[in-house]
Structure 1
Amino acid sequence: MPIYVQIHNTIKQDIAAGKWKIGQRIPSERELATSFKVSRMTLRQAVQTLVDEGILQRKVGSGTFVARQKVQEKMSGTTSFTDIMLAQGKKPSSRVVSYHMAKPTASERDHLRLVQLDQVLRMERIRLADQLPICFEITTVPIKIVENLSRQEITQSFYHALEQKGYELGHAQQTVSSMLSSEKVSDLLNIKRGSAILRLRQITYLANGQPFEYVRTQYVGERFEFYLER
């Protein structure tokens, strides 16, 4: 096994064992090279591999730090935010920014197959994991879908509430793109303006093919990632 891979594995094990905590600066390349008794080039190769894997994070002018583990979402099906967080050992929560009934926009009518006279519930939420803001979400749902649900059921765990009311969830169509955070979103998610954002647009369907949810979500790039599985 190449020496840099051995060093990579040792540093990774040390992080898992708690030698360095999330957000903590690790020793300099010079110090680590001396500790492992290798050249700085070999040590740099090991560190770069850890950076590429998202385990370490370089900050210009500050050093190399243990990166915060990103929340992952598998791009398949209609898994709820709550389920994703719980599956990764994190405590999910939401903070409602706005919640009101309204006439659907042209885009909302098209995606949800509504007519102009229909009403929708439009809500804006910040979704958190262990009290850390992960994303800003705008959700639009036809009123006829949620008329028998309480505000708490809708804002805390919408999918679970629907299933308890007898709705069977189907598939989802998702589109992911990148953008820079606006001033509003930066303030809501506690990040710098112009930070990298992953934008997800999702239309979610019931098992009978009826669209019931149109979501526009902006995820903090350094805290979240999507992955595909074939």
Structure 2
Amino acid sequence: MLKDGKSKKLPLYIQIGELLHREIAAGHWQPGERLPIESQLATSLNVAVGTLRKALAKLESDGLLERRQGSGTYVKRAPTGTAIYQFFHLELLGGGGVPRADTLAVSMRQEPEVAQQLEMDYLEAKLWSIRRKRYLNTQLVAAEEIWIDHRHSDSLVAEDLHESLYMHYREVFGFWIGRVEDRIDCVQAPDWVTEQLGLPSGTTLVRVERKGWSNNNQVEEFSRTWFDPQKCRYFARWS
């Protein structure tokens, strides 16, 4: 059954924490550098100081920030793999940007090619297909389709899905994605993608094909993401 709707939004303080995490990862603030004072930072982010403080406290508990009494909040170290969106490798052309998502449709399908990517024995097995639009801050940058085995849920409703599907997998399905493999190429995007991105039919976009392995070392997710290189870029950082 096809169900339309939007994803469940993450709490605002988590969104702000993810934004700051990605800004630091992009090099906008370096280890040892002091962040702007809370009132200025809250104003620039258009959030209440209390919301900002919750986000800063979370980043401090993760070891990313350090609060020095009477001095301010400093970047303690470069980010590692603690963020909700640690596997989300799109960022704005200038770096950073907090990921957001709107779910367009959820449907159950039989797609042997995808079942093969998921290393399923029965290639005619039923799969959940999830189509979404992806944003960085408020900028629409990509469209994606994700497939998972139907065994995880008899009924999947768009409104019940988190913006972070990886959080949904952990909290609802009982597994989490521990590693991924991305393959990148340039292809003519499907019509549904160009329509959602407001681009002419037949536009060539960058495509990321991803396989995701769970904590049990099983392939649990296959996805395709098409993004506009005029609006964002793919990145990978190692330390």
Report TM bin, short chain.
0.5 to 0.7
Q: List runs of 5+ in structure 2 lacking aligned partners.
A: 1-80
Match of 1:140 among 120, 130, 147: 147
Using the TM superposition, give the Cα deviation of residue 163 of structure 1 relative to its aligned residue in structure 2, in angstroms.
Answer: 1.6
Query: Residue 213 of structure 1 aligns with which residue?
Result: 221
Structure 1, gaps ≥5 residues long:
1-73
Aligned-residue RMSD, C-alpha: 3.3
Shift of 1:205: 0.9
Q: Does 1:151 align with 2:154?
A: no
Match of 2:116 in 1: 110
Q: Report if aligned partners of 1:142, 1:212 keep a CA contact under 8 Å in 2.
A: yes
Does 1:79 pair with 2:72? no
Native 8 Å contact 1:137 1:218 kept in 2: yes
Query: How much does 1:172 deviate?
Result: 0.8
Q: Match of 1:156, SS?
A: coil
Please tell me whether the aligned partners of residues 149 and 161 of structure 1 are also in contact (alpha carbons under 8 angstroms).
no
Q: TM-score, normalised by structure 1?
A: 0.55
* Larger RCO, structure (CA 8 Å, separation 6 or more): 2
- Out of 75, 87, 92, the position equivalent to 2:100 is 92
What displacement does 1:193 show?
4.3
Q: Does 1:175 align with 2:186?
A: no
Helix, strand or coil at the partner of 1:110:
helix
Structure whose alpha-carbon radius of gyration is higher: 1
Q: Which letter maps to 1:109? A: A
Q: TM-score, normalised by structure 2?
A: 0.53
Task: Tell me the number of residue pairs that the alignment of Structure 1 and Structure 2 aligns.
Answer: 152
CA shift in 2, pair 1:222/1:175, >3 Å? same
Contact 2:126 2:149 (8 Å CA) reproduced: yes
Q: Give the distance between the partners of 1:158 and 1:193, measured in 2 at CA.
A: 28
Q: 1:228 to 1:192 in 2, by over 3 A?
A: same
